[in-house]
C-alpha cells in the first residue's frame, strides 16, 4: 500500500485528468454549438484563403466556371484540418481567414457593394453556412474580411449619393466636398476624385476612385457597420472579423491616418462585437510601425493586429543571415507589450511578394524563415500556397493565383482540366503542388505540418514570458520563454555554414532540476544543463554544432 502522500497525489492526478477530459469535451461541444471560449484565437494557427483561387467545385451549380467557391472550399477542408489531430494527414491549421466574400465588382472583393450578402460567384448564404458548419465540425474556426473604411463605388448608397444635389442626405454617408481640401492622400496618391460633373464636386477615396471612403462622422455609418457585424457574427455565425485598412477610418483635419478618433471608433466597435458575440475575435490590418500597432491593441481598439515590422524583420534577418535584426525587433515588442504577445505573426499575405520570392527563390532560406515564423511569440497566420513554396512578385493578381493541388495540365487541379480558370496557375505547378509534396517526408508542406503541431502544442513557444538569456556568440539567434510549467530555448544558425554550438547562460527562470528536456525541431539529442537554485544555468553548451540554416527548439516540461 503506498504511503498517503502518493495516494493523495494519485487521486490528484486522476482528478486533473478528469478536469482536462471535461475541458476538451466542453471545447468540442462549444465549437459545435457556436459558443466561443474567450481568447481562443491565442491558441490558433490561421490560414488565409482567397476563395476565388482556392478550388472550383466539380459538381453542382457552381462547378466548372474556373472560379473558386464555397463548395470547392468544403471539398478541401480535410486538407486543412481533418479533425483527427496528429493522427491525421492534414496541415493542422485551426482557423481560417477568408478574404472578402461579399458581392463586389472587383476580382479581389475589397470594394464591397453589399455588406449583408455573399458573392454569388462563391455560392449563396445557405452554402456558406454549410461551409461554416463543416469547418466547425472539424475544429476549424472562421473569420472573414470586413472592410469598414470604404465601400464600392457600385454600392447602391454611393450610386444614390452621386445623383443627389450638394445637400443630399445620402451624400453625407461619404466624404463629398465642393472643392477638395487637399488633392493628395497619406502616401501622396490622388485621394479626391471628381464626382462626375463640376457641380457635383469631389469625393474622398483614399485607395482609389472605385473605393469611396465612408464618412464616420455620420452616425448612420457606424450603425450600418454594426448591423453588418452583428449579422455575420450572430446570425451567420462566423467567429471573428479581420478589419481591413484600419489606419484610415476617421480623418481629422490634415491627419489622414492613425487618428485618436479612429482608435476610439475601433474600441467601441470591438466592444460591440464582443457584446453581440462573446469571444469573437477582432483583428485589424494596421500597416503602421509597431509603436502605433501596439497603441491600438493595448488601448483595446483591436484584439490583435498583424505585426508587419516583425514580418519584415524575420525575412530580412533570414535573407541577410543577420539574426540581430529579428532579436532587436523582438526586444522592442517585449518592451511595448510588457511581455504579452497578442499580435499576429506572418511571413507574407495577399499584398506581399511570396516568401520564397523575397528570399530569391532559395529553398533552404524559405525553410529557415518558416521555422523562425512558427517559433516566434504571437498568433501565426499563413497565406495559402506558402506551405508549398509558391513564388510570385507583384502586380497583386500574381500574388493571388490558383492553389496548385496536382500536376494536372493546365489548371493544377484547381479546376477541371477542360475549364478555363479565371487565372492561370503559376508555371512551376508541375513541381510545386500539394500532391507532389504530400507524401515526400522532407517536403516544405510536411515541414509546415510539423511546425504547426509543434507551435500548437507549446504555450511557452507561442506566448511564454521572455527570459533574458546570454550566448557567447552574437551571430546566433537565441531566445528563451517560459510559462509556469514549460520553458523553451530557441537556438538558430541563419548562416550557410555549420557553426559551433553556443554556450548559454541564464540567471533565473521557472526551471527546476528534474524537468524533462528534449529537442523538438531538428530531431537531435541534447545534453541537459545543471539547473541551479534560481532556475538558472551557466555556460551550458546544449549542442556541439549547429547545422546550416537550422532552428533548434529545446523544450523543458515539468
Ligand atoms: Ca466555381
Ligand atoms: Ca477613411
Please provide the DSSP assignment of 164-202 as one string.
S-TT-TGGGGB-EESS-S-SB-TTS-B-EEE-SSGGG-E
CATH 3.20.20.80 domain range(s) in the chain? 308-402+429-457
Looking at the CA of 421, which ligand is closest?
1
Q: What is the mean pLDDT of residues 479-485?
A: 97
Whole-number Å distance, alpha carbon 264 to ligand 2 midpoint, is 14
The verdict on domain 460-557 having CATH code 3.40.50.300 is: no
Q: Which residue has the cell 454569388?
A: 120
pLDDT band at residue 181 under the 50/70/90 scheme? confident
Residue 387 annotated among the catalytic residues of the structure: no
Strand pairing class (516-519; 550-557): antiparallel
Q: Which residue has the cell 477615396?
A: 205
Looking at the CA of 119, which ligand is closest?
1
CB 174 within 8 A of CB 203: yes
Whole-number Å distance, alpha carbon 195 to ligand 2 midpoint, is 17
Q: What is the mean pLDDT of residues 305-331?
A: 98
Q: What is the pLDDT of residues 221-238, one digit of tens each?
A: 999 999 999 999 999 999
CATH of segment(s) 308-402+429-457: 3.20.20.80
CB 346 within 8 A of CB 379: no
Whole-number Å distance, alpha carbon 64 to ligand 1 midpoint, is 6
Q: Which residues contact 101 (CB under 8 A, 6 or more apart)?
A: 51, 109, 118, 119, 122, 128, 144, 145
Q: Which residues contact 192 (CB under 8 A, 6 or more apart)?
A: 177, 180, 181, 182, 183, 202, 203, 204, 205
CB 502 within 8 A of CB 473: yes
Whole-number Å distance, alpha carbon 249 to ligand 1 midpoint, is 34
CB 373 within 8 A of CB 346: yes
Phi, psi of 539, rounded to the nearest 5 degrees = 60, 30
Whole-number Å distance, alpha carbon 400 to ligand 1 midpoint, is 16
CB 288 within 8 A of CB 247: yes
Residue 254 annotated among the catalytic residues of the structure: no
pLDDT at 28: 46
Q: What is the mean pLDDT of residues 470-493?
A: 96
Radius of gyration of the chain (CA): 25
pLDDT at 183: 85
Helix (H, G, I), strand (E, B) or coil at 533: coil
The mean of the pLDDT values for the chain is 94
Whole-number Å distance, alpha carbon 281 to ligand 2 midpoint, is 22
Take residue 548 and report the three cell numbers written for it: 546550416
Catalytic residue among 69, 121, 213, 244: 244
Tell whether the model's pLDDT for residue 22 goes beyond 60. no
Q: What is the pLDDT of residues 111-131, one digit of tens each?
A: 999 999 999 999 999 999 999
Distance CA 132, CA 111 (A): 23
pLDDT band at residue 5 under the 50/70/90 scheme? very low
Tell whether the model's pLDDT for residue 11 goes beyond 80. no
Distance CA 181, CA 203 (A): 10
The DSSP bridge partners found for residue 241 are 144, 282
pLDDT at 33: 52
pLDDT band at residue 88 under the 50/70/90 scheme? confident
Angle at 271 between CA 265 and CA 274, to 5 degrees: 145
pLDDT at 521: 96
Take residue 148 and report the three cell numbers written for it: 469598414
pLDDT band at residue 85 under the 50/70/90 scheme? confident
Residue 25: asked if its preceding bond is cis (omega within 30°), the reply is no
Tell whether the model's pLDDT for residue 485 goes beyond 90. yes
Long-range contacts of 128-137 (CB under 8 A, 24+ apart): 128/70, 128/101, 128/236, 129/236, 129/237, 130/70, 130/74, 131/70, 131/73, 131/74, 132/236, 132/237, 132/238, 134/74, 134/77, 135/77, 135/96, 136/31, 136/32, 136/34, 137/32, 137/83
Tell me the residues surrounding ligand 2 (ion) with CB < 5 Å: 149, 213, 248
Distance CA 293, CA 287 (A): 8
CATH 2.60.40.1180 domain range(s) in the chain? 460-557
Q: What is the mean pLDDT of residues 475-480?
A: 97
Q: What is the mean pLDDT of residues 548-556?
A: 97
Catalytic residue among 213, 251, 285, 387: 285
Tell me the residues surrounding ligand 1 (ion) with CB < 5 Å: 56, 62, 65, 67, 69
Torsional sign, CA 329, 333, 335, 339: negative
Whole-number Å distance, alpha carbon 256 to ligand 2 midpoint, is 8
Phi, psi of 502, rounded to the nearest 5 degrees = -80, 160
Q: What is the mean pLDDT of residues 431-456?
A: 96
Q: What's 53's DSSP letter?
A: G
Q: What is the pLDDT of residues 429-442, one digit of tens each?
A: 999 999 999 999 99
Q: What is the pLDDT of residues 513-523, one digit of tens each?
A: 999 999 999 98
Looking at the CA of 257, which ligand is closest?
2
Helix (H, G, I), strand (E, B) or coil at 478: strand
Q: Which residue has the cell 482536462?
A: 20
Q: What is the mean pLDDT of residues 351-374?
A: 98
Closest-CA residue to 30 (of 224, 38, 397): 38
- Counting every residue, how long is the chain? 558
Q: What is the mean pLDDT of residues 193-205?
A: 93
Percent of the chain whose pLDDT exceeds 70: 94
Amino acid at each position: 500500500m503506498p504511503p498517503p502522500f502518493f495516494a493523495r497525489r494519485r487521486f490528484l492526478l486522476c482528478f486533473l485528468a478528469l478536469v482536462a477530459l471535461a475541458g476538451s469535451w466542453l471545447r468540442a461541444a462549444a465549437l459545435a454549438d457556436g459558443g466561443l471560449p474567450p481568447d481562443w484565437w491565442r491558441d490558433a494557427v490561421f490560414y488565409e484563403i482567397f476563395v476565388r483561387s482556392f478550388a472550383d467545385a466539380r459538381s453542382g451549380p457552381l462547378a466548372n466556371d474556373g472560379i473558386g467557391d464555397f463548395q470547392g472550399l468544403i471539398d478541401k477542408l480535410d486538407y486543412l484540418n481533418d479533425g483527427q489531430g496528429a493522427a491525421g494527414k492534414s496541415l493542422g491549421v485551426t482557423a481560417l481567414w477568408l478574404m472578402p466574400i461579399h458581392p463586389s465588382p472587383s476580382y479581389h472583393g475589397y470594394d464591397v457593394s453589399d455588406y449583408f450578402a455573399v458573392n454569388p460567384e462563391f455560392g449563396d448564404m445557405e452554402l456558406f453556412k454549410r461551409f461554416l458548419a463543416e469547418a466547425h465540425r472539424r475544429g476549424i474556426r472562421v473569420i472573414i474580411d470586413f472592410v469598414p473604411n470604404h465601400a464600392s463605388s457600385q454600392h447602391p448608397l454611393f450610386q444614390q449619393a452621386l445623383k443627389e444635389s450638394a445637400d443630399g442626405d445620402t451624400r453625407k454617408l461619404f466624404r463629398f466636398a465642393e472643392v477638395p481640401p487637399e488633392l493628395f492622400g497619406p502616401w501622396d496618391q490622388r485621394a479626391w476624385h471628381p464626382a462626375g460633373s463640376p457641380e457635383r464636386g469631389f469625393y474622398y477615396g483614399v485607395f482609389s476612385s472605385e473605393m469611396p471612403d465612408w464618412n464616420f462622422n455620420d452616425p448612420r455609418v457606424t450603425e450600418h457597420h454594426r448591423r453588418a457585424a452583428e449579422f455575420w457574427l450572430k446570425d451567420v455565425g462566423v467567429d471573428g472579423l479581420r478589419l481591413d485598412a484600419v489606419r484610415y477610418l476617421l480623418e481629422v483635419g490634415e491627419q489622414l491616418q492613425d487618428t485618436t478618433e479612429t482608435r476610439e471608433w475601433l474600441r467601441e466597435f470591438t466592444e460591440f462585437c464582443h457584446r453581440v458575440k462573446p469571444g469573437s475575435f477582432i483583428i485589424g490590418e494596421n500597416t503602421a510601425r509597431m509603436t502605433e500597432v501596439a497603441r491600438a491593441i493595448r488601448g483595446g481598439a483591436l484584439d490583435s493586429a498583424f505585426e508587419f515590422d516583425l514580418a519584415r524583420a524575420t525575412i530580412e534577418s533570414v535573407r541577410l543571415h543577420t539574426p540581430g535584426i529579428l532579436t532587436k525587433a523582438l526586444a522592442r515588442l517585449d518592451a511595448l507589450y510588457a511581455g504579452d504577445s497578442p499580435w499576429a505573426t506572418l511571413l507574407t499575405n495577399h499584398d506581399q511578394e511570396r516568401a520564397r520570392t523575397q528570399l530569391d527563390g532559395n529553398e533552404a532560406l524559405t525553410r529557415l524563415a518558416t521555422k523562425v515564423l512558427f517559433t516566434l511569440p504571437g498568433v501565426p497566420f499563413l497565406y495559402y500556397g506558402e506551405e508549398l513554396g509558391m513564388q510570385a512578385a507583384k502586380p497583386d493578381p500574381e500574388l493571388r493565383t490558383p492553389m496548385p493541388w496536382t500536376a494536372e495540365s493546365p489548371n493544377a487541379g484547381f479546376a477541371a482540366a477542360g475549364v478555363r480558370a479565371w487565372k492561370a496557375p503559376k508555371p512551376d505547378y508541375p513541381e510545386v503542388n500539394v500532391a507532389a509534396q504530400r507524401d515526400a517526408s522532407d517536403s516544405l508542406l510536411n515541414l509546415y505540418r510539423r511546425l504547426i503541431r509543434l507551435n500548437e502544442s507549446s504555450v511557452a513557444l507561442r506566448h511564454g514570458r521572455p527570459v533574458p538569456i546570454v550566448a557567447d556568440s552574437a551571430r546566433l539567434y537565441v531566445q528563451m520563454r517560459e510559462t509556469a510549467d514549460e520553458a523553451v530555448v530557441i537556438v538558430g544558425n541563419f548562416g550557410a555554414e555549420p557553426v559551433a554550438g553556443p554556450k548559454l547562460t541564464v540567471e533565473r527562470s521557472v526551471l527546476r532540476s528534474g524537468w524533462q528536456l528534449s529537442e523538438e525541431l531538428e530531431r537531435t539529442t541534447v545534453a541537459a544543463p545543471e539547473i541551479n537554485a534560481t532556475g538558472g544555468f551557466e555556460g551550458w553548451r546544449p549542442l556541439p554544432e549547429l547545422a546550416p540554416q537550422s532552428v533548434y527548439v529545446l523544450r523543458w516540461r515539468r
